[in-house]
Amino acid sequence: MKIYPVILSGGAGTRLWPLSRAVMPKQLLPLVSNRTMLQDTALRVAGGPELMAPLIVCGNEHRFMVAEQMREINVTPLGILLEPAGRNTAPAVAAAAAFLLALDPQAVMLVLPADHVIKNGPAFTEAIARAAALVGEGALATFGIVPQGPETGYGYIRRGAAVAGTDTGYQVERFVEKPDRATAESFLADGNYYWNSGMFLFRADRYLSELKEFNPAMALAAESALGASYRDLDFCRLDEKIWNACPSDSIDYAVMERTTHAVVVPADIGWSDVGSWSALWEVQQGDTDGNVLRGDVYVDGVKNSLVRAESRIVAVVGLDDVVVVETNDAVLVAHKDQVQRVKQIVEHLKSRERTEHLHHSKVYRPWGHYEGIDSGDRFQVKRITVKPGEKLSLQMHHHRAEHWVVVSGTALVTCGDKATLLSENESTYIPIGMTHRLENPGKLPLHLIEVQSGSYLGEDDIVRFEDIYKRS
């Protein structure tokens, strides 16, 4: 049996603000280890028995970061499907199923969110094997996490009778929404409830046939969007018009709660969806005072807290059970019991039309990244890094001029019909309205300082004439 991991990497992760943001969500961040959560997920299923290369589903704005992170860990995906817009998990899995069936009519899908923690890899591999024994008979398996306590932040699955002739799984009796504390305690005492992990194993054709029965419009839209897809560099772009008209729903609501073929496979695998800062604290090893510290941090008289510094020293004194997270443009301080209210901060930022929920001051691009270091009336200063062999688009600006100063590396600058090679400590000037391009012809990263001046300095004042990354 060939099992194809399908990694869903489309979430926004707003509950882990200010570290996780729309342009750089939690699955693309190194939260638990030195690798990102997406990288840990891909490596978790790399080289396992019967496991094929992963198929990754992500949003268009994350495509280059996803591809780069796979390159960093030497994983070559089976493909990267690009969603023009978020349509929840059911359509994403349907498009992935159609993609796999075109390659292998017997394909079995292992559906995994990109942002979960699994501490016990061997137990997870064993759970996959137990589920695989059931899906060959047409079952749609979900992994039920053996609960470690009366958790109110997870949905639950109540098991029914054991699957006939096996001791590997149970019929799903019902799915239960996130309970209150008393109800969660009763679930734990009952012994027949599991946490709903959001991970699944089933045959691709069985999933599509069930979806066609319960939501034919969704199944048709997902298959049609894939049928009208096209290659863009190393990506597969789903048709935007068809996809955006597709109904939106989760796998649970669209299929698993309605099918008569759902089974739950118990899994005691050290799992967490890392859905909050307190959850991130729980899955990491603390010091002797129960503190999880990362970055340039000083603590005194602090217990059972998470303190994370990204760009400067953070000092915390005389506090217990707190979360302190610092980035170079925002700081969060919260009691661990109140971290679910972080979503309200994000909503506040949206309502004020601010940008701190969208992106960090360091913004990643396929050619490298830039970081804002100063700004004021009619000027802006950025630190720009261009990877070896990469180039920005051929472009112009209507409202700003730019000065570039090379800090290290080599820059090939096109300005109008003139090309100039610049080295360390050399500079150039790009007038308003002048067609220009920056590229790194060397073998080392190019670092430069850009000073913008003009009446409007927004990123949307870019007119691209040519772009190797095919951006609009």
Which domains are delineated in the chain?
3-272 (3.90.550.10), 285-345 (no CATH), 362-466 (2.60.120.10)
How many angstroms separate the CA atoms of 299 and 291, rounded? 9
Residue 243 is predicted with a pLDDT of 97
Residue 11 is predicted with a pLDDT of 79
How many angstroms separate the CA atoms of 68 and 85, rounded? 21
* Burial readout 102-117 (b: 16 or more C-beta within 10 A, e: otherwise): eeeeebbbbbbbbbbb
Residue 362 is predicted with a pLDDT of 87
Residue 295 is predicted with a pLDDT of 96
> Can you give the pLDDT of all 472 residues of the chain as single tens digits?
899 999 999 877 789 999 999 989 999 999 999 999 999 999 999 977 689 999 999 998 899 999 999 999 999 999 999 999 999 999 999 999 999 999 999 999 999 999 999 999 999 999 999 999 999 889 999 999 999 999 888 999 999 999 977 778 999 999 999 999 999 999 999 999 999 999 999 999 999 999 999 999 999 999 999 999 999 888 999 999 999 999 999 999 999 999 999 999 999 999 999 999 999 999 999 999 999 999 999 999 999 999 999 999 999 999 999 999 999 999 999 999 999 999 999 999 999 999 899 988 888 899 999 999 999 999 999 999 999 999 999 999 999 999 999 999 999 999 999 999 999 999 999 999 999 999 999 999 999 999 999 999 988 899 999 999 888 7
Q: What residues have CB less than 8 Å from 190, skipping those under 6 apart?
A: none
Residue 52 is predicted with a pLDDT of 96
Residue 10 is predicted with a pLDDT of 87
How many angstroms separate the CA atoms of 371 and 440, rounded? 18
- Helix, strand counts (H, E) of the chain: 11, 30
How many angstroms separate the CA atoms of 55 and 7, rounded? 6
Residue 183 is predicted with a pLDDT of 95
Q: What residues have CB less than 8 Å from 425, skipping those under 6 apart?
A: 405, 406
How many angstroms separate the CA atoms of 368 and 440, rounded? 10
Residue 360 is predicted with a pLDDT of 87
Quick one: tokens of 53? 């290369």
Closest by CA to 96, choosing from 252, 255, 233, 229, is 229
Q: How many CB atoms lie within 10 A of CB 258?
A: 14
Q: Where are the alpha helices (H) located in 302-389, listed in sequence order?
A: 342-351
Beta strands 108-113; 193-203: pairing state:
antiparallel
> pTM of whole model > 0.85?
yes
Q: What residues have CB less than 8 Å from 364, skipping those under 6 apart?
A: 23, 24, 64, 65
Contact 195, 218 (CB under 8 A): no
Q: Is residue 435 left, alpha or beta, with left meaning phi > 0 and alpha meaning psi from -120 to 50?
A: beta
Q: How many CB atoms lie within 10 A of CB 144?
A: 26
